């Protein structure tokens, strides 16, 4: 299986401070993963600190 995280870094608040925003996303979703079985097909949208959708994560078979 693979865990895939895709985040757009060049728009909105992500473009202003990508290091801070990406760090926040990684901390938040890292702590939130225990709510998922982490099976292929699992995934969710990812939001920045202004609650704008900036990407997604997903689990794939390979």
Query: Per-residue pLDDT tens for 3-60?
Result: 999 999 999 999 999 999 999 999 998 888 899 999 999 999 999 999 999 999 999 9
Listed by start position, the domains of the chain span 2-60
Q: What is the pLDDT of residue 21?
A: 96
Report helix, strand or coil for 37. Answer: coil
Show the tokens assigned to 2.
């693979």
How many Å separate Cα 47 from the centre of its chain? Answer: 7
pTM for the full predicted model: 0.86
**Alpha-carbon gap, residue 17 to 13, rounded angstroms:** 6
Q: What is the pLDDT of residue 7?
A: 97
Q: What is the pLDDT of residue 29?
A: 86
């Amino acid at each position: 299986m693979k865990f895939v995280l895709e985040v757009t870094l060049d728009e909105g608040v992500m473009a202003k401070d990508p290091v801070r925003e990406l760090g926040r996303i990684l901390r938040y979703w890292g702590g939130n993963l225990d709510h998922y079985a982490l099976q292929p097909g699992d995934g969710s949208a990812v939001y920045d600190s202004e609650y704008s959708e900036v990407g997604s994560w997903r689990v794939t078979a390979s």
